[in-house]
Structure 1
Amino acid sequence: MRFAPGVRRFAIPAFAAAAVLALVAPPLAVVALAAGGFVAWFFRDPDRRPTGPGVVSPADGRVSVVREEADQLRVGVFMNVTDVHVNRAPFDGRVERVTHRPGKHLPAFSKESERNERVDVDVATDEGPAELSFIAGAFARRIHPYVAAGDDLERAQRVGHIDFGSRADVLLPPAYERADLLIEAGDRVRAGESIVAAKER
């Protein structure tokens, strides 16, 4: 099983505590062992392949945002505690800039989450400018982008993860219209696998 970077920082202390507690307080050792197992499971990073042509979901979870922004469409995916938290590139392109924006840590499914800490990745695609955003939630404290300005992106490649949180958005290129969307709010999707928009159907 592959794991996202950072798993050792959280899992190893829990497993080490379990080993020590096993000698002095076995019930607490069970709790520490369960905590370590939960962390390892939370940071799991399975292989994914797109199920067809088009824009793939950047995250596992439930579609929580579908809205128009000027001449572009935004699709947001909320990740709950049971979802894989490794994010994927929705399309091929080239990273133009990666911008960290400090902010709050409000629940990522709420409207107020627009003020949360986030990392925006501006991408140039063959169909126009686009953006991928990692948005922290109530429990998330670190956003880890794997890409930098000048990097080439391949659809469905791993592009980052958020420790214990929380939402990933894609601002589609202007070439996409509402009729091209294959999802709606409330749908379940999988990162790098589910198709959220396609020009040809």
Structure 2
Amino acid sequence: MNETATQTLRHEVRALHGTTGGPLPVRAAFVPRPPHGWSLRAGPGLVVVVETAHGPATTPPSRLRLEVSDPRLAVRLAAPATEVDLDQPVVTHFFAPAPSTLEVGLLTATGDPSTGRTVVAHPSVGQDVPLTEEVPGVYRSAPVAWTAEFHPFEIRVGSLLLRRAFIDVTRPATRIRLIDTT
């Protein structure tokens, strides 16, 4: 006797980086293990939950555990593993970044350190992050969890835009060296 099983997409879970908004590679597992007939498939930044109907309806799974599978990326996240509720057809989870610093080296046109300047990282919306001068011409932020508002951001000297830049989310510090043209 031939039996036919019907597969139905029940949930799409997106795993995205909290700074870049880009997909993150994840492993996924149901919490707790669901009844027979439920399965999942994980790809870069996406997990799909599928129900295969063999017979009577079963109770659907309600939670999914996500874990970032790339160790280089996982170490730069505040929490590389989490559980999400399967309460919507499409669920999006943004993994928050771990705090990191921004370091800007400013030089004059002659190659000397540009000292005594007011330097900030300016987001698309929200508050500026000040950079303090630690050694002559080198300005550093306190550790910050750089959010999507800083992707990209502006490096401002005084009130003037010097350069637009991006945080390197794979490193504990982003270092940028610039000629101070302000």
User: TM-score, structure 2 length as denominator?
Assistant: 0.30
Structure with the higher fraction of residues in strand conformation: 2
Structure with the higher fraction of residues in helix conformation: 1
Structure showing greater radius of gyration is 2
Which of the pair has the greater relative contact order for Cα pairs under 8 Å at 6+ separation? 1
User: TM-score, structure 1 length as denominator?
Assistant: 0.28
